[in-house]
């Protein structure tokens, strides 16, 4: 799961091309980390000692661990630890990328640190993400609340069961709220219980090929249409998840939970209050959609474009507005790109950093208002640029957000314009 986030990040940062990223993701499915690389990464050996063992290994056709122990470079216990870690995704990825000469080891490590900063997570949580900890992904990436036992356990079991039986190259996206969404294929599973909430879980996709591939992967039989066989395969998968959930919650003393038999619906509109968790598999996109009848309808969702040459600033703003139930449809790192995306996508709101390369925020503001004098433009600026702020407001900006970015200020400015 970690590499499905990190590789696109490397592409976005310009460290890999799209073609290289696709190649690396495919190859890492079957790759194993070399023991010497892992020993150096874990700081159990120096690179010089690891290279020495590699040379001896080539000469004597012996295992790396056996030679390293014989030479006193590693203990037997250390070898066992390294063997248990040979499948660590990010180290496999580093080996593949550096072997091909796409990125140096130092640049790879620097990019890891940049991703950690962008995600805004602690060191310990970042390690959990690298170790493919499902709950860490649910909490950090999907931004889900673990206090709702049924919802949390269902999604955890869904992801684990997908990894085990369908596709280990799974990527979880950030959860968001919505309503009135039509999906081409939906499989429903309802739960109810006296002691812990009622939910309807819906596995949905608009990709027929992806739906067939999901059923084929789980049922181990070729499926080329969402006919009765195709539907049964996906329903049986959810039936398995529901059965695991019932047993798991019974052990946690939530004994009154009932799981209904899954049902399939085609071209169906989900109109209730929805929580949607994007799930990307190697063969297509899915949406694990949760209907909670106890929640109110979502906010009047607006579409945003974030324009700032600081990726961190864009990430902070995006997190705040998406947590409030809105949608960020595009980002840009300079005013010219921001203007082009505004004209193409016609968002409800656009945020502009005042100081940017190629075209600054003031000039971009003028161009946007020339195209649409009613545009909702929010300027973002650092402290001490009062004259630029005054100029932007005079030109027609609707609000100004001052860095460092504070959630309460951002939401206050946005809500005042809704």
Please write the tens of the pLDDT for every residue from 18-38. Answer: 999 889 888 877 666 777 877
The whole-number pLDDT of residue 287 equals 93
The whole-number pLDDT of residue 353 equals 93
Q: What are phi and psi of 176, to 5 degrees?
A: -145, 165
Beta pairing class for 181-192 and 199-205: antiparallel
Pick the closest to residue 203 from 292, 142, 291, 288 (CA basis): 288
Q: Which long-range contacts (CB under 8 A, 24 or more apart) does 273-276 make?
A: 273/177, 273/179, 273/297, 273/298, 274/177, 274/178, 274/179, 274/181, 274/298, 275/175, 275/176, 275/177, 276/175, 276/176, 276/177, 276/178, 276/181
Number of H helices, E strands in the chain: 18, 13
The whole-number pLDDT of residue 86 equals 61
The whole-number pLDDT of residue 233 equals 93
The whole-number pLDDT of residue 384 equals 64
Dihedral-angle region of residue 206 (phi above 0 means left; psi in -120 to 50 means alpha; beta otherwise): alpha
The partner residues of 380 in beta bridges, in order of sequence, read 353, 401
The whole-number pLDDT of residue 88 equals 65
Answer whether 274's CB lies under 8 Å from 183's CB. no
Q: What are phi and psi of 262, to 5 degrees?
A: -60, 150
The whole-number pLDDT of residue 195 equals 47
Answer whether 177's CB lies under 8 Å from 142's CB. no
The whole-number pLDDT of residue 87 equals 57
The whole-number pLDDT of residue 379 equals 93
- Tokens at 108, concatenated: 């790879």
Q: Which residues of the chain have pLDDT under 50?
A: 195, 296-298
The whole-number pLDDT of residue 251 equals 75
- Whether pTM > 0.75 for this model: the answer is no
Answer whether 321's CB lies under 8 Å from 413's CB. no
Residues 57-115: tens digit of each pLDDT: 777 767 888 899 999 999 988 888 877 766 567 777 888 898 899 999 899 989 989 98
The whole-number pLDDT of residue 255 equals 57
């Amino acid at each position: 799961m970690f590499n499905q986030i990190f590789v696109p990040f490397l592409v976005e940062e310009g460290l890999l091309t799209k073609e290289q990223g696709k190649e690396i993701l495919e190859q890492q499915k079957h790759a194993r980390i070399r023991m010497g690389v892992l020993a150096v990464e874990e700081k159990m050996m120096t690179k010089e000692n690891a290279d020495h063992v590699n040379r001896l290994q080539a000469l004597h056709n012996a295992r790396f661990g056996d030679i390293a122990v014989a030479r006193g470079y590693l203990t037997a216990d250390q070898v066992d630890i390294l063997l248990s870690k040979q499948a660590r995704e990010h180290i496999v990825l580093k080996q593949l990328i550096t072997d091909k000469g796409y990125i140096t080891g130092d640049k790879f490590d620097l990019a890891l640190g940049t991703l950690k900063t962008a995600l805004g997570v602690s060191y310990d949580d970042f390690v959990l993400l690298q170790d493919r900890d499902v709950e860490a992904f649910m909490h950090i990436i999907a931004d889900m609340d673990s206090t709702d036992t049924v919802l949390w356990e269902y999604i955890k079991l869904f992801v684990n069961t997908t990894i085990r039986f369908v596709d280990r190259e799974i990527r979880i996206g950030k959860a968001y709220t919505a309503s009135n969404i039509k999906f081409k294929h939906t499989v429903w599973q309802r739960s109810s219980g006296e002691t812990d909430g009622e939910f309807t879980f819906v596995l949905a996709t608009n990709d027929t090929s992806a739906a067939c591939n999901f059923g084929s992967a789980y049922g181990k039989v070729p499926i080329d249409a969402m006919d009765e066989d195709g539907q049964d395969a996906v329903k049986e998968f959810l039936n398995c998840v529901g059965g695991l959930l019932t047993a798991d919650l019974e052990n946690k003393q939530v004994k009154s939970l009932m799981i209904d038999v899954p049902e399939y619906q085609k071209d169906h509109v989900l109109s209730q209050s929805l929580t949607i968790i994007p799930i990307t598999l190697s063969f297509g996109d899915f949406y694990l959609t949760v209907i909670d009848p106890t929640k109110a309808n979502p906010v009047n969702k607006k579409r945003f474009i974030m324009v700032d040459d600081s990726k961190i600033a864009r990430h902070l703003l995006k997190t705040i507005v998406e947590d409030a139930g809105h949608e960020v449809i595009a980002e840009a790192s300079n005013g010219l790109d921001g203007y082009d995306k505004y004209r193409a996508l016609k968002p409800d709101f656009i945020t502009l950093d005042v100081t940017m390369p190629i075209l600054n925020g003031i000039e971009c503001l003028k161009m946007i208002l020339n195209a649409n004098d009613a545009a909702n433009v929010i300027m973002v600026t650092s402290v001490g640029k009062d004259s630029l702020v005054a100029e932007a407001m005079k030109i027609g900006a609707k609000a100004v957000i001052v860095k460092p970015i504070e959630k309460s200020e951002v939401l206050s400015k946005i809500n005042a314009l809704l």
